[in-house]
Amino acid sequence: MNGEDLINRVLREGEREADEVEVFYARGESVSTEIKKGILGTAEESEAWSMAIRTVKDGRIGFSATSDPDRWRACLDAALASGRLSTPQQWGGLPKPTDLAGTASSSDRDLVVTVDDAAGMVADLLSGAAEHPVEVVGGGANLARSYMMVANSSGTLYGMDRTVASVSLEAIREQSTGYEFDASPFRADIDARSVGEQAASLAARSLGGKDIETGRYDVVLSPIAAASILGQVLLPALSGRNVKAGRSFLADKVGDQVFDESFSVYDDPFAPGLGSTTWDAEGVPTRRLVFVEQGVLRRFAYDLKTGYRYSEESTGSAVRSGGDPPGIGFHNLFVDGPRVKEPGDERAVWIHDVVGAHTANPFSGDFSVEISNPFWVEGGDLVEPVRTAMLSGNVFEMLREIGGLGKDSRRVGRLTIPSIRLNNQQIIGK
């Protein structure tokens, strides 16, 4: 018993003991080819199957998950047992079936999960990297296809396909390293050769960097560096759960001009992307959500549980990872705004990436990180590498005044983001 039969069985059996039952089911296959020392070292193929069950009884929510179809009964019993211990809360029911508006685009019919195609992508990565005098130390290609489904005892049943193609390459020249990557649902979006070339170029060009003195400088965060820092601090602050729990710096600031007026943040689940979907991980229809509009904070993201508890409406923002219960997240998040001035036109320190972004303080917004592949930028060109340094600042403060957004928006996971110029920032040299 597998797939829909099993789901129906779990829903029926669960309803005997709970008011409501939900099943989230996912299965997938993937292949990956990994580069070892400049050649194709390892080929891997995965198949995965998982089922997560939620039960609701008198406002008590239970949860369990399993990767073994034969243990569905134990999983259901564990979900019911877990529900008996959770604190009861206001609950208005799992979503009923509805006609979904919009279309989602997160699956590529032309993407075939074969080791041959993944091996071809590795060959392209390596040929791109060969354009510069570097050693390739790692990287690889991955192709994946999955199917996921949410069903509940109110009759909701949605299913969708997802595909992912991704590549990465890490190069080194002496003690100068370069790393690049890309991922998309669409095989044709991935230019493996260009990713390999970019990584190698970073390693080759960062060699022989000059020291920088401690002081205040204008900096340009590349889309990758910006995504790392904002992802750690800004995104958690937009979660309704953190807001209501007193863990968000942005709580009580809806309607305020919190950031520079050139800075907007929105989630567009209907845009093509890794998180594209018309229903969220609880089966609530998704919608376009503007969180920050020209610097003004407009709203937060909610799932059903947090929404019901605090009398807010779910914004269709539930996501899942692994075998965890659903939580609040984002589908296809965009950082956007008018492009008035190119961030790198006037001299600044351009920062490709940072080391240690996860150590930022998500509540206060303070961070100090090591910077990777920094260059002096002038007239839009990277003119001279900088050896090494730290960047210290506060995310919430620095976004109040932005010196320009680049025309170089790119995908970094589920975030699409341009380079961001920030003037007068603290750099600590060595």
Residues within window 54-73 making contact with another protein, judged by CB under 8 A: 61-71
Q: What angle do CA 10, 15, 17 make, to 5 degrees?
A: 110
Which residue among 109, 246, 321, 407 contacts another protein (CB under 8 A)? 246
For residues 374 and 350, the answer to whether their CB atoms sit within 8 Å is: yes
Rounded-to-integer distance, Cα 88 and Cα 61, Å: 7
Choices 37-45, 93-101, 147-155, 291-299 (CB under 8 A): range interacting with another protein: 37-45
Q: Total residues contacting another protein (rule CB under 8 A)?
A: 78
Long-range contacts of 71-75 (CB under 8 A, 24+ apart): 72/6, 72/9, 72/10, 73/13, 75/51
Helix and strand counts by DSSP (H, E) for the chain: 8, 21
| Closer residue to another protein (CB): 100 or 428 | 428
98 binds another protein (CB under 8 A): no
Q: Least CB distance from residue 231 to another protein, whole Å?
A: 14
- Residue 59, CB-side half-sphere exposure with 13 Å CA sphere: 9
- Ordered DSSP codes for 38-107: TEEEEEEEEEEEEEEEEEEETTEEEEEEES-GGGHHHHHHHHHHHHHHSPP-----SPPP-PPPS-----
3-state secondary structure of 11: helix
Q: Least CB distance from residue 254 to another protein, whole Å?
A: 15
Of the candidates 25, 30, 166, 151, which has an alpha carbon nearest to the alpha carbon of residue 94? 151
Which residue among 5, 16, 85, 109 contacts another protein (CB under 8 A)? 85
Q: Least CB distance from residue 115 to another protein, whole Å?
A: 6
388 binds another protein (CB under 8 A): yes
Q: Least CB distance from residue 65 to another protein, whole Å?
A: 4
* Tokens describing residue 217: 């400088």
13 binds another protein (CB under 8 A): no
Which residue among 361, 378, 384, 413 contacts another protein (CB under 8 A)? 361
Q: Least CB distance from residue 215 to another protein, whole Å?
A: 10
Choices 96-104, 182-190, 289-297, 388-396 (CB under 8 A): range interacting with another protein: 388-396
Which residue among 42, 98, 127, 257 contacts another protein (CB under 8 A)? 42
Of the candidates 250, 232, 342, which has an alpha carbon nearest to the alpha carbon of residue 296? 250
| Closer residue to another protein (CB): 224 or 271 | 224
Which residue among 1, 15, 36, 381 contacts another protein (CB under 8 A)? 36
Rounded-to-integer distance, Cα 304 and Cα 313, Å: 7
363 binds another protein (CB under 8 A): yes
Q: Least CB distance from residue 288 to another protein, whole Å?
A: 29
Which residue among 394, 409, 410, 423 contacts another protein (CB under 8 A)? 394
Touching another protein, residues 100-129 (CB under 8 A):
115-116, 119
| Closer residue to another protein (CB): 75 or 151 | 75
| Closer residue to another protein (CB): 203 or 289 | 203
Integer angstrom CA distances of residue 188 from 191, 314, 430: 7, 35, 43
| Closer residue to another protein (CB): 74 or 383 | 74
Q: What angle do CA 358, 359, 360 make, to 5 degrees?
A: 90
314 binds another protein (CB under 8 A): no
257 binds another protein (CB under 8 A): no
254 binds another protein (CB under 8 A): no
